[in-house]
Amino acid sequence: MILEVLGHDFSSTNSGKEAVDLIKNNSYDVILLDLAMPGFSGLDVINEL
């Protein structure tokens, strides 16, 4: 909510696999990943990309 108030757009997901799809299909200036997500972690997202 703070990002929106400051005029920034953002996307979020609780799924590492969905994160890969979002990153591949959109342009982002900054990406924050949770390295400890269960199942498909932030490190898995990095490796997939």
d(CA 19, CA 16): 5
d(CA 46, CA 33): 9
Burial 14-45 (b: 16+ CB within 10 A, else e): eebeebbeebeeeeeeeeeeeeebeeeebebb
Diameter over CA atoms, the chain:
33
pLDDT digits (tens, 9 = 90+) for 13-34: 989 999 999 999 999 999 999 9
0.85 exceeded by the pTM? no
User: What is residue 28's predicted lDDT score, i.e. its pLDDT?
Assistant: 92
pLDDT band at 45 (very low <50, low <70, confident <90, very high): very high
